[in-house]
Structure 1
Amino acid sequence: MARPKPWEVSDELWAVIEPLLPKVERRSRYPGRKRLDDRLVLHGILFVLHTGISWEHLPQELGFGSEMTCWRRLAEWHEADVWQRLHEVLLAKLRAADALDFCGAAVDSSHVRPFKAAHKTGRSPVDRGRTGGKHRLITDGTRIPLAVTLTGGNRNEVTQLVPLLEAVPPVRGKRGRPRRRLDVVLADRGYDHDKYRRLVREHGIRPLIPRRNTERGSGLGTQRWVVERAFALFHHFRRLRSPWEIHDDMHEALLSLGCALICWKRLASPRRKF
């Protein structure tokens, strides 16, 4: 039996995605060319996400349709919040399976250098002043991404901590009210600031952040490794590691899709250490 390609959508995953896609009725008068099947277009989007090739080099002989079809469909679905809702659905399934840990959330950021300048870029102090962006990620205690944001590379780490916490969606999956509040958030010394510690506490979350200019060996590294592992999973998608997008919303669409795919891999293989 042939091994499925990483950009091919399984029947189980498609059963989750299909109800979330907006329904487009074909016009009765002057219908024009028939709309390409959504599943084939999604294959093309995932092909770009996994391989990192530019849209214009998308191989049409694989049946994905034209590059503009995939690009427009990605933008259309992102505008309809398909990827965000897919992420929330999968988080709910993980919570129902007791696969989420809200007791040890971790935050960090990763610098990426885009091939083309976008609005959410800036001169990075850690990359010789080159223009770049940052992926800012918060995970649960088992390296499942809860939220990811995109900012310029010149934005200070600590100023983005509260917006990242507020980006965590309410997670359903169990009886009662959806859960959104984390118990603890772990971060490195780049997030050391008393003002933001206070703001985190006002959200009902306990911050665990080591102080600057203190001796190393806080022990938090043994717990914060989950966010580093999550970044490795994100950058397994070559398009996220080396982005080509000029429009920030397209980059954010691929980030949200990457979140959902990581959640799905964990849900489909709960015992696998991916």
Structure 2
Amino acid sequence: MAVWRVLFNLSISLLPTNGVAGIDASGFDRSHASKHYTKRAEFTIQQLKVTLLVDSKVNAVLDLHVTTTRKHDSQIAPSLIKRNPETIDILLGDKGYDDQKIRRLARQHDIRPLIKHREFTPLHKAWNARLDADIYGQRSQSETVNSTLKRKYGAFVRSRRWWKQFRELALTCIVHNLDQAL
């Protein structure tokens, strides 16, 4: 996996990133079986959860995390923050990433977290109202990249083994970054 991280960093170095990164997760199917067949055969296919860290200026994938388990977004984000503290100045996330551990970790690495609060009290509503709407609006770029990857390269992986599935998704993101550089 270290080779793929090096290739990732090389593909990112070709692009002028601005330090504003959005984080978002999406699901990829593990094989391309028809919905009719899987329903008729009562066959379930476990999905891959792919969390992407995306630069909002050039829509480049800065890092990815792939898991087969049903981890919550707030459990995945710390590993992405720890791996990329030098490339992130502002971290954008939806309410799924609203966790004090994530906010604390981001501040320890001199990253400004712009993550909406889940609204349980009037204080949370006030904090959400004070978010910088122009910068927070760039969060949708990470969703755009997820959609682009699925439309251009397919919403499923062809490989059978987990490490090959990770490699396939990493190569997809590297090719996307190279495509953005051209």
- The TM-score normalised by the length of structure 2 is 0.77
Tell me which residue corresponds to 1:164: 80
CA contact (8 A) 1:111 1:135 kept: yes
Aligned-pair Cα RMSD in Å? 2.5
Q: Which has the larger radius of gyration?
A: 1
Matches within 5 A, 1:54-203: 81=3, 83-94=4-15, 99-102=16-19, 104-115=20-31, 131-142=46-57, 143-168=59-84, 180-203=86-109
Q: Within 1, Cα distance between the matches of 2:31 and 2:180?
A: 31
How far apart are 1:227 and its partner, in Å?
0.3
Correspondent of 1:207 among 109, 113, 128: 113
Structure 1 residue matching 2:144: 3-state secondary structure: helix
Q: Within 1, Cα distance between the matches of 2:100 and 2:2?
A: 38
Percent identity reads 23
Q: Within 2, Cα distance between the matches of 1:105 and 1:254?
A: 23
CA contact (8 A) 1:111 1:153 kept: no
- Evaluate the alpha carbon distance shift between residue 147 and residue 132 of structure 1 in structure 2; reply closer, same or farther with a 3 A threshold: same
The list of structure 1 runs, each at least 4 consecutive aligned residues, that deviate by more than 4 angstroms after superposition, is 214-218
Q: Flag structure 2 segments of 5+ consecutive residues without an equivalent.
A: 33-43
Structure 2 residue matching 1:146: 3-state secondary structure: strand
Correspondent of 1:229 among 140, 144, 166: 144
How far apart are 1:181 and its partner, in Å?
4.0
Higher relative contact order (CA closer than 8 Å, sequence separation 6+): 2
Tell me which residue corresponds to 2:177: 263
Q: Flag structure 1 segments of 5+ consecutive residues without an equivalent.
A: 1-78, 117-128, 169-178, 269-274
CA contact (8 A) 1:181 1:204 kept: no
Which structure has the highest helix share of the two?
Answer: 2
- The TM-score normalised by the length of structure 1 is 0.53
Q: Within 2, Cα distance between the matches of 1:212 and 1:140?
A: 24
